[in-house]
Amino acid sequence: MQPKNQKRFYSPQFSETASVTVRRLAWALGLPMTAAVDLIVKILPSVVQAEKVCQLCKDTTKCHGCTFRSTYTPQEQNKVLFALSELIV
């Protein structure tokens, strides 16, 4: 049983294809799968139109911490992109 003071996070069930893809990406990056998923989530806001995501968002209570209103510096974004650069075609 989980202590009351710990947050619980939604753990989606990935399709077999998604799971296999993340596993292989994690191997290529030398990371655990959870870190690979975190990396994917960090990179997405820099490659999609954040305005459209914000317009369609259904939870405006967390805007201050939303990655689509990123507080990532260009240096932090470059660090994430660099981690993927050897894998990008």
List, in sequence order, every beta strand (DSSP E) within the chain: none
Contact at 8 Å (CB) between 4 and 11? no
Q: pLDDT 10s digit of each residue in the chain, 89 long?
A: 555 666 667 777 889 999 999 999 899 888 899 988 888 888 788 778 888 999 999 998 988 888 888 666 778 777 777 777 777 76
Q: Give the pTM.
A: 0.64
Amino acid at 36: A
Structural domain spans, the chain: 16-85
Rounded distance between C-alpha atoms, residue 54 and residue 15, angstroms = 26
